[in-house]
Amino acid sequence: TGGSTTTVAFKDDTTQEAVRQLMVDFGETDAVVQNFGDNTFFIRTKELDEGRKNALLDLMESRLSPSGVELLSFDLVSPVVARKIVVNGFWMVLAAAVGIFLFIWWAFRNVPSPYRYGLAAIVALVHDTLIVVGIFAILGEVAEIEVNSMFLFALLTVIGYSVNDTIVVFDRLRENVVLYPNRSFA
């Protein structure tokens, strides 16, 4: 959806509930506040301009931490950029899946029905990916865990390991099918 992300460190002790209440008082009722420990908080809001950002920091300092507030990071993401990232990510994953399917089909061409190995690898990849996405979708609702670019990197890692493990198992199957052509898979 886009918006602003702010990471702040308070010099004085404060709680997540106090920061949430401050955000409501500031007019950002939909703000997401996450505690990173040591009085460091990650706050996601609708898009803030420079004036509102400074007003928010001043309000935090006056109400929650008179000793000071340190702005660790402030980022803006427009909805257009966020949408482009999702669309481009979808097309890249689709292209990678087709590439994996074609590679496995070619690599297992000496085995009966090599396209089945490619399809099975894609099914395993989708299964592993959906498990991770599903868990984080539930955690997003229950624990307000945010999905960001680091999550995408982790998801790509899961996809890579899924494909690697599938190819290792299928390679062992291919070896046994060639050595023992009359034996059943069981």
What is the tens place of the pLDDT at every residue in 56-79? 999 999 999 999 999 999 888 777
Do residues 97 and 33 touch, judged by C-beta distance below 8 A? no
Name the nearest CA neighbour of 108 among 161, 176, 46. 176
pLDDT range class, residue 122, cuts 50, 70, 90:
very high
The string of pLDDT tens digits covering residues 126-177 is: 999 999 999 999 998 898 777 777 888 888 899 889 989 998 998 888 888 8
